[in-house]
Amino acid sequence: MRLILLGPPGAGKGTQAAFITEKFGIPQISTGDMLRAAVKAQTPLGLEAKKIMDAGGLVSDDIIIGLVNDRLKQDDCKNGYLFDGFPRTIPQADALKNANVTLDYVVEIVVPEENIIERMSGRRVHPSSGRSYHVKFNPPKTPDVDDLTGDPLVQRDDDREETVRHRLSVYREQTRPLVDYYSQWAETGAPGAPAYRQLSGVGEVDEIRERIFQALQS
């Protein structure tokens, strides 16, 4: 099972990725994790990436694709892999295609933006334990207070409405075009084209998990 999970920030990709990797016994490949591992292992690409990051630059797509190719040669990728947060842009998708990286499925989790804003901006966290609440879906017994300790809850900067809206606009501009890229490629039926599956990310976590598992069997 070799797949990419697409969807806006807050669509629940991380939660669903954990279910998919467990069910199929495949690793979740995140470019952030790969970069950190390559830097730590001091591989040639890792050293090159570290130089760029230390200088405050963005690691090029060529280096990222090189890291992906190195990662896919490892034993745990024999049964497949799930790409997490990659590719993010059309040039990265082209580079992946040109490197002949096999994909079986591209799954898009669709959630309306207003739902995402409500989901994310309603989160409240207990900083020292990481316990998390939601003002609407999972409220604490007393507003803005942790159930167990009575400590005040906080809203993380990442979850503030203006931050969420900014992240969504970046997604629309940079990553949303991948939806057209992969769906149109799938429609061609060309050799090597992945199957494209689009499904709703609204509802209970278990319902969404079942939708994904059904999509991956069709």
To the query of whether residue 51 is one of the catalytic residues in this protein, the response is no
Q: Which of 50, 88, 97, 176 is catalytic?
A: 88
Q: Which of 2, 13, 71, 119 is catalytic?
A: 13
In angstroms, rounded to a whole number, what is the distance separating the alpha carbons of residues 137 and 118? 10
Q: Which of 40, 156, 160, 172 is catalytic?
A: 156
Q: Which of 97, 131, 167, 176 is catalytic?
A: 167
To the query of whether residue 167 is one of the catalytic residues in this protein, the response is yes
Nearest alpha carbon to residue 97 among 124, 125, 65 = 65
Strands (E) across the chain are located at 2-6, 28-30, 81-84, 105-110, 123-125, 132-134, 195-200
To the query of whether residue 165 is one of the catalytic residues in this protein, the response is no
The answer to whether the Cα torsion of 149, 135, 162, 17 is positive or negative is positive
User: Which residues is 197 bridged to in the sheet?
Assistant: 107
Residue 124: strand, helix, or coil: strand
Q: Which of 71, 119, 123, 124 is catalytic?
A: 123
Q: Which active-site residues does the annotation give?
A: 13, 88, 123, 156, 167
